[in-house]
Amino acid sequence: MQKVIIKSSVELTREQKLKLETGLNKVASDIDYIIDEELIGGIAIIDGDKTLDATALQDLVDMKRLTDKLVYESMSKGIAIKDIPNLLKERAKDIIDNKLDFKICGKVISAADGVVHIDGLNNCCYGELLLIGNDAFALAMNLTKDSIGAILLSSSSVGYGDTAYATGRIIEVPVGDTLLGRVVDPLGNALDARPAIRATQSRRIEFPAPGIVDRAKVKQSLSTGILAIDAMIPIGKGQRELIIGDRQTGKTSIAIDTIINQRDKDVICIYVAIGQRAAAVSKIARTLEERDALKHTIIVLSTASDAAPLQYIAPYTGAAIAEHFMYAGKDVLIVYDDLSKHAVAYRTISLLLKRPAGREAYPGDIFYIHSKLLERAAKLSPELGGGSTTALPIIETQAGDISAYIPTNVISITDGQIYLEGELFKAGQRPAVNVGLSVSRVGGAAQTKLMRLLSAQMRLEIAHYRELSVFAQFGSSLDDTTKEILVYGAKIVEAIKQPEYSPLGELQEEIYLYAIVNKALKNVTVNRVREFLEAYYKYVVAQAPEMCSEIERDGALNDVNEQLLKKLTSDFVSAFK
């Protein structure tokens, strides 16, 4: 028969032992009395998998929870900070007067691979932060009849028999301007060589997405500075645009170029690295700093060596930081690099928690965890400040298979996708965007009138070129019209090539497009296309600065400016030839 263990800070008197034996309906041989000097005061009764904790340590935990709660209420409900000591005194009196109100805590029955199973703890809620031992924290993920499954959020050692407490809180992370230019972990701790982060505000990592009535129409452009994307797959503020492709096809480069392009546009950027190599993220941070873009960027880093729970919460931490700025009326760009690794981390957690596995061993709610994350990106209505969060999730495919489980899930959640093709990348096209498989479902509404008109024509030209180039590979005889389409199509492809970390301004993109669509490259050789476009843009800006200002202001060409630009183009083509 298993004995009952009674812990106390000092040896109990005979009378006290007799009262306990009577109350527990046990004889002395059924009870082991243990002296534990760390308890400070009070007793703890352990009967198998149940623990009745009436120690002073538990009271201190209760006081800590109450203090946190009162400080939170002081900020959210208007309780004055000066009133908190009096409220704490009242609570302390309640604890003293009700010593027999035992608190039930839990006990760790297994701990491995960042996952713990806890017996007891009947007052726990899903997603609640748990305290295990003295300094280890975990997140409750599984609530079953017999036990609670939780994921560890700290590196503290946790073992069988450790006591677990419910804190009554959801995970919060620091937010605010103090994080700008910093590299932090998923819990908001600094990872760079600078001083610790001292934020005055925090926010829950889990938060409901804005409702339909709280959203406004996507109608402002978020320029990436990449001609191929801004012209044919435009992104609007508040949109969720997926970047998808095989490994090493330039997915991260597109995201970094977009962040660099926001440096003078009052857009705050958040780069969430999930399961990435620390050296690769360090290189990205240096690149942003060299291009004066780190000052408006926050990097949330969970490396490949981090435990699966930290990789799982990383994108939610980034979303919480973004929401703080969005609800303050600011525009935010957030990059999730990448959600494929996030799905793998969640699968690892779910399997360790012994959840039923579905397709490809992923749990049944894998779609839900990504949808609740990406739905938090939105353009808010003017009544809520008009802020926005634009999400660029990244998904890695295997051998170009976009019909796999996770890619199809995320494609169905987002508002379009930028598909990067490995074959185009190997052929030297940068970015390697496949125009046929890429689409933006709402970004066209955010384009300027001029950009929308020109890009529609260029998309048709490229599609026609790609279609004919397939047949041209067979070496069959081609008529002059087909040859002309193939030759000019090759020049358009060359024109939309762009080196890394060299984003273009919106006016520059429109001037380039005008030259491409109006056949200004007809007599230019392919190897001189980039040279022609750069010289053409400088010429137009120098010759007609007022026209350029009007195009930037109105986003359109009036009849007078159109005639002027046509003449400038003709003059430059003649001079360049």
Q: Are 144 and 199 in contact (CB under 8 A)?
A: no
Nearest to 426 by CA among 245, 258, 281, 257: 245
* CATH number for position 215: 3.40.50.300
267 burial type by CB count under 10 A (0-12 exposed, 13-18 middle, 19+ buried): buried
Which residues, including other chains, have CB under 8 Å from residue 457's CB and lie 6 or more apart?
517
CA distances from 244 to 300, 420, 432, 444 (A): 21, 6, 11, 20
Alpha carbon 329 to its chain's center: 19
- Checking if the pLDDT of 73 tops 70, the result is no
DSSP three-state, residue 396: strand
Alpha carbon 24 to its chain's center: 52
Q: How confident is the model at residue 2, as a pLDDT?
A: 65
- Lowest average pLDDT, out of 287-301, 323-337, 475-489, goes to 475-489
Same domain, 485 and 421: no
Cβ-based neighbour number of residue 24 at 10 Å: 15
Q: How far apart are CA 98 and CA 27, in angstroms?
A: 27
pLDDT tens per residue across span 401-457: 999 999 999 999 999 999 999 998 998 888 999 888 899 998 888 899 999 999 888
- Within 6-155, residue ranges assigned H as helices are 14-24, 56-76, 84-97
Same domain, 552 and 438: no
Q: Which of 204, 441, 459, 530 is catalytic?
A: 441
Same domain, 440 and 569: no
Question: Locate tokens 């760390």: which residue?
Answer: 38
Model confidence at 98, pLDDT cuts 50, 70, 90, reads very low
Averaged confidence pLDDT in the chain: 87
Any catalytic annotation for residue 441?
A: yes
Nearest to 181 by CA among 261, 270, 253: 270
Same domain, 153 and 201: no
- Within 56-159, residue ranges assigned H as helices are 56-76, 84-97
The percent of residues above 70 in pLDDT, for the chain, comes to 88
Which residues, including other chains, have CB under 8 Å from residue 395's CB and lie 6 or more apart?
242, 243, 244, 338, 339, 340, 406, 407, 410
Same domain, 84 and 208: no
Q: How far apart are CA 366 and CA 377, in angstroms?
A: 18
* CATH number for position 95: 2.40.30.20
pLDDT tens per residue across span 8-66: 878 888 888 888 887 777 777 778 888 877 666 677 788 766 677 666 555 555 555 55
Q: Identify the domain containing residue 90 by its residue range.
A: 54-170
Q: Are 167 and 127 in contact (CB under 8 A)?
A: no
Same domain, 484 and 520: yes
Q: Are 151 and 349 in contact (CB under 8 A)?
A: yes
pLDDT tens per residue across span 320-354: 999 999 999 999 999 999 899 999 999 999 999 98
Structurally, how many domains does the chain consist of?
4
Domain C-terminal end among 170, 195, 217: 170
Model confidence at 69, pLDDT cuts 50, 70, 90, reads low
Which residues, including other chains, have CB under 8 Å from residue 560's CB and lie 6 or more apart?
none
Question: Locate tokens 């309906």: which residue?
Answer: 25
Same domain, 58 and 44: no
Same domain, 415 and 492: no
Same domain, 391 and 498: no
Same domain, 13 and 129: no
pTM for the model stands at 0.81
pLDDT tens per residue across span 234-292: 999 999 999 999 999 999 999 999 999 998 899 999 999 999 999 999 999 999 999 99
* CATH number for position 558: 1.20.150.20
Domain C-terminal end among 408, 429, 447: 447
Give the tokens for residue 232: 């044919």
Q: How far apart are CA 224 and CA 420, in angstroms?
A: 16
Q: How far apart are CA 83 and CA 344, in angstroms?
A: 48
Question: Locate tokens 């009577």: which residue?
Answer: 22
Question: Locate tokens 């020109």: which residue?
Answer: 454
